[in-house]
Amino acid sequence: MRRRLATRDLAAYGFLGMPLAMAALPIYVHVPKFYADTLGLSLASVGGWLLAARALDAVQDPLLGWWSDRRRASPGGRWVFVALGAPLLALGMVGLFDPPPWGPAALQGWLIANLVLVYTAYSLVTVSYQAYGAEISSDRAERTRVTAWREGFALAGVFAASVIPEVLRRASGERAGFAQFSWAFVPLLLAACLVTALRSPPAPVRLRDAAPTLESLGLPLGNAAFRRLALVFLLNGIAAAIPATLVLFFIDDVVRRPDLTALFLVAYFAAGALGMPAWVWLARRVGKSRAWLAGMGLSIAAFVWAFFLGAGDVAAYLAICVMSGLALGADLALPPSLLADVIDEDEARGRGRHEGAYFGLWNLITKLNLALAAGVALPLLAAWGYRSGPFGPGGALTALAAVYALLPCALKALAAAALWNSNLERGELP
């Protein structure tokens, strides 16, 4: 298990991260604006339904992780959940971005139903997919390579999800463009599932571990290192989710260059992908926690300046996108690798390994981050009088800039302080 994994096998494992990211980005970036601006639902109601659907979905993730742990030694292992979830995810994405021409009341019901379908299917796939990745190697440096490949492909998916809808929207209009994107997503997802399931590095099945019981759902909370890591991940995740939710509004109404949306998003995610090897290298030399802390500091130093931008500040905003994008690589590659290390403590204490339970709870926290970002930021802006469009009151645009830029920096500073005091790495974990 301590051998260096073949690059082609890691690439095969990581490939599935691409379509999964292509599904995740449009849901929390494009859905609010698509359903509010294009389809005519109120911004507050869309934010509320996103919060409710996320909250409902998050509850099931630990149960799916427990179920995945019980099946890992059975024929098909964790890949059974990937095979079940992928077609449902494809169906939900088409439903979400190619809705029928209904009125607001019926359309709200359609939105809720498809959000629940997409979130449930996404959880079926990602919990088992991530848990499998944590089982591939017991070497801590190799774990960072595993997560870096997965998140590197995820960045490629985000890159594609940033560019393709913009191109299709310009060519065919809002509704038709998003519909075409959702249909193109289907074959890519199914092909990636097949490649990843068949060509990923083998993960040893620990037959000595007893089948997890329902009590194993609480195992992560009994791990002090996990609790400290989860607090950092929660604060840092909310800090990242708020700008992701508001970025299209900020570009349209503050920078006022919606024609350059694709350029800004591509610069951000391309910088993240290009910077990923640097964070893997730094983590090898100074430790994962210290490397992640450096990434947080870079993100704050770059992003706080977004508050001071105004109409036409294209070059400044592009520079902020690049610098904060470089910091993104640390957020993507290092926390899941640290989580895999944290699970080692259970094994060292004779409690076995329950990757599904850990990643189920981890995904719950991820979704809580996104739910809080959409369910708090959007209604808050609506209460302050903000409405989408360049002719809103100046005070409301200042509120948008503050929620978009200053609030995330404050939360990320709290995350950095929690990480600094966490003692997650005492020369790496014991």
Asked, for residue 429, whether it belongs to a domain, the answer is: no
Q: Indicate the number of domains in the chain.
A: 1
Asked, for residue 1, whether it belongs to a domain, the answer is: no
Mean pLDDT of the chain: 82
Taking the alpha carbons of 161, 166, 171, 174 in that order, is the dihedral positive or negative? positive
- Give residue 131's pLDDT band: very low, low, confident or very high (50, 70, 90): confident
> Which of the two residues, 121 and 206, has the higher pLDDT score?
121
CATH at residue 303: 1.20.1250.20
CB 175, CB 101: distance < 8 Å: no
**In the 3-class helix/strand/coil scheme, how is the chain assigned residue by residue?**
CCCCCCHHHHHHHHHCHHHHHHHHHHHHHHHHHHHHHHCCCCHHHHHHHHHHHHHHHHHHHHHHHHHHHHHCCCCCCCHHHHHHHHHHHHHHHHHHHCCCCCCHHHHHHHHHHHHHHHHHHHHHHHHHHHHHHHHCCCCHHHHHHHHHHHHHHHHHHHHHHHHHHHHHHHHHCHHHHHHHHHHHHHHHHHHHHHHHHHHCCCCCCCCCCCCCCHHHHHCHHHCHHHHHHHHHHHHHHHHHHHHHHHHHHHHHHHHCCHHHHHHHHHHHHHHHHHHHHHHHHHHHHHCHHHHHHHHHHHHHHHHHHHHHCCCCCHHHHHHHHHHHHHHHHHHHHHHHHHHHHHHHHHHHCCCCCCHHHHHHHHHHHHHHHHHHHHHHHHHHHHHCCCCCCCCCCHHHHHHHHHHHHHHHHHHHHHHHHHHHCCCCCCCCCC
Q: 23-70: per-residue pLDDT in tens?
A: 887 777 778 778 877 777 777 777 777 777 767 776 788 888 878 887
Res 207: pLDDT: 43
Q: 217-248: per-residue pLDDT in tens?
A: 567 777 788 888 889 998 999 898 889 888 88
Asked, for residue 208, whether it belongs to a domain, the answer is: no
Residues in contact with 53: Cβ distance below 8 Å, sequence separation at least 6, in sequence order: 112, 115, 116, 119
Res 206: pLDDT: 53
- Give residue 75's pLDDT band: very low, low, confident or very high (50, 70, 90): confident
Distance CA 365, CA 197 (A): 26
Asked, for residue 427, whether it belongs to a domain, the answer is: no
Asked, for residue 81, whether it belongs to a domain, the answer is: yes
- pTM greater than 0.75: no
Asked, for residue 194, whether it belongs to a domain, the answer is: yes
Which residues form the domain of 127? 8-203+218-420
Q: 316-341: per-residue pLDDT in tens?
A: 999 999 999 999 989 988 888 888 78
